[in-house]
Amino acid sequence: MRRVEHVMGFPVSVRIDDEDFPEAPVDGLFAWLRAVDARFSPFRPDSEVSRLDRGEVREPGPELREVLGLCEEYRVTTGGAFDVRLPGRRLDPCAVVKGWSVQKGAELLAAAGARRFCLNAGGDVVAAGGPWRVGVRHPEHADRLCTVLDLTDRAVATSARYERGDHIIDGRTGRPATGLLSLTVVAPTLTEADTVATAAFAMGAEGVEWAAERAGCEVFAVDAGRRVLRSAGFPVYR
Amino acid sequence: MKRAIPVLVLSVAGLIPVWRYAPSHDGGASSTVTEAAAPASTPSASSSGGTTSTVVSGSAIDTEKGPVQVEVTFDGQRIASVRMLRQPNHPQTTAAVPKLIEETLRAQSADIDTVSGATITSDGYKESLQAAIDAKG
């Protein structure tokens, strides 16, 4: 079964290989992602995130608390490079919300009995079961790949500037991060893969090593000089 | 990184006597470096061996940040864990130093199930490789 819907401003593609898998859990997945968008989008004035940012909500709910807790954890471990509360800007936890919510969506499918499925949310992938062959988009050629992964029961996320420009800010300087062309992280969950990829990209060249140091994380980076740096355990498809 | 390199080198230098003690050199230098560096951040991983485990202390090496000394636990002929007995009070020495492989950037095509990339917008989707994969079904 395959389905594509547009949620949170990006396409979400689902492929489930389990035979006769029902539609209802897939409906549930998209309903969850829409609910997350309504609650956590900084672009919606009535979202919980916007109301918290304006001081209209005193205590965030348990899920937003979990998200903001992750944001704070990454702000500290990146020495402030990753920061969802940049001066002069609105609170923007999107980088954590995306991976976190899609990971939870994948867990909804798994709880409904899906065993072999692939969930791709705007380029961030949860690969359940496997093996899956996951291409990584070449940073300079949209129709080419720079590597192919062999992935089973893991997640992969990529941060780069080629789609949405200089949108990742190094919180230490307040300026766009430009040290890397593209950085891909494989991790046990998409929550971690997506946040580590964004945080490492914000750090620039030193973020490659920072990400590779994390237990369970594998990294493939293309730096500004078009040099590839990858961790020894990065699961390249052979 | 610049400060991490001499520390890593000296940590490894401290390992050399320990290394000679080991009956086998199978892993080669680079994998020993990786294993040596990794448990430094998780000292709790040590001493889980069975009857064949051996604990060896390396000699202390003076560095510009202070003395460095490691303790290695062998499980048979394999290094089970490495613990820092003495280390300078400096954040760089507490982090593991991963081994990164350098390659040249290649542009390739392949038969794949899905594509990872920077967050694509719904507008950009039509032109993407993922759209082609979804359409193919």
Q: Residue B15 has what pLDDT?
A: 55
What pTM does this model have?
0.75
Mean pLDDT, chain A, whole residue set: 96
Instruction: Give, for A75, the enclosing helix (H) or strand (E).
Output: helix A62-77
- Within 8 A of B116 by CB-CB distance, chain A residues are 120, 123-125, 134-137, 149, 156-158, 184
Q: Tens digit of pLDDT per residue, chain A (238 long)?
A: 999 999 999 999 999 999 999 999 999 999 999 999 999 999 999 999 999 999 999 999 999 999 999 999 999 999 999 999 999 999 999 999 999 999 999 999 999 999 999 999 999 999 999 999 999 999 999 999 999 999 999 999 999 988 888 889 999 999 999 999 999 999 999 999 999 999 999 999 999 999 999 999 999 999 999 999 999 999 999 8
Q: Residue B78 has what pLDDT?
A: 72
pLDDT in tens, B40-68: 333 333 344 445 778 888 888 887 777 77
CB atoms closer than 10 angstroms to residue A48: 18
Q: Is B99 at the interface with chain A, CB within 8 A? A: yes
Residue range(s) defining the domain that contains residue B30: 4-94
| Position B99 in a domain | no
Q: Which residue of A has its CA nearest to B2?
A: A206
Residue B97 pLDDT class (50, 70, 90 cuts) = low
Q: Is B62 at the interface with chain A, CB within 8 A? A: no
3-state secondary structure of B73: strand
Q: Residue B96 has what pLDDT?
A: 57
CB atoms closer than 10 angstroms to residue A116: 18
pLDDT in tens, B29-43: 333 333 333 333 333
Q: Is B44 at the interface with chain A, CB within 8 A? A: no
The residue ranges of DSSP E strands in A131-172, in sequence order, are 132-137, 145-151, 154-160, 169-170
> Are B56 and B72 a contacting pair, CB within 8 Å?
yes
Q: Residue A166 has what pLDDT?
A: 81
Give B9 to chain A, closest Cα distance, Å: 17
Give A92 to chain B, closest Cα distance, Å: 16
| Position B119 in a domain | no
| Position B19 in a domain | yes
Contact criterion met (CB < 8 Å) for A230 and B137:
no
What is the number of domains present in chain B? 1
pLDDT in tens, B99-111: 899 999 999 999 9
The residue with greater pLDDT, B71 or A178, is: A178
| Position B90 in a domain | yes
State how far Cα A182 lies from the chain centre. 14
pLDDT in tens, B12-35: 555 555 444 544 444 333 333 333
| B69: β partners | B86
Give B91 to chain A, closest Cα distance, Å: 12
| Position B103 in a domain | no
Contact criterion met (CB < 8 Å) for A232 and B101:
yes
Contact criterion met (CB < 8 Å) for B116 and A143:
no
Interface test with A, best of B116, B123, B134 (most A CBs within 10 A): B116
pLDDT in tens, B111-130: 999 999 998 888 889 889 99
Q: Residue A73 has what pLDDT?
A: 95
Q: Residue B32 has what pLDDT?
A: 36
| Position B127 in a domain | no
Q: What is the ipTM of this complex?
A: 0.94
Contact criterion met (CB < 8 Å) for B115 and A144:
no
Q: Mean pLDDT over residues B3-15, rounded?
A: 55
Q: Which residues contact A159 (CB under 8 A, 6 or more apart)?
A: A168, A180, A182, A183, A197, A198, A200, A201, B118
Q: Which residue of A has its CA nearest to B122?
A: A10
Instruction: Kindly give the residue spans of alpha helices, DSSP state H, lying in chain B.
Output: 4-21, 28-37, 91-94, 122-125, 129-136
| Position B107 in a domain | no
Cα distances (angstroms) measured from residue A36 to each of A84, A128, B53: 17, 22, 51
Give the closest of B1, B100, B111 to A231, CB-based: B100
Contact criterion met (CB < 8 Å) for A13 and B134:
yes
Give the closest of A2, A135, A228 to B110, CB-based: A135
Q: Domains in chain A, ordered, with CATH?
A: 2-230 (3.10.520.10)
- Within 8 A of B137 by CB-CB distance, chain A residues are 2
- Within 8 A of B44 by CB-CB distance, chain A residues are none
CB atoms closer than 10 angstroms to residue B20: 8
For residues A5 and A100, give the distance between their C-alpha atoms in angstroms, rounded to a whole number: 18
Contact criterion met (CB < 8 Å) for A136 and B103:
no
Amino acid (one-letter) located at A4 = V
Say yes or no to pLDDT of B94 above 60: no
| Position B133 in a domain | no
Q: Is B103 at the interface with chain A, CB within 8 A? A: yes
Contact criterion met (CB < 8 Å) for A133 and B129:
no
| A236: β partners | A149
- Within 8 A of A184 by CB-CB distance, chain B residues are 116
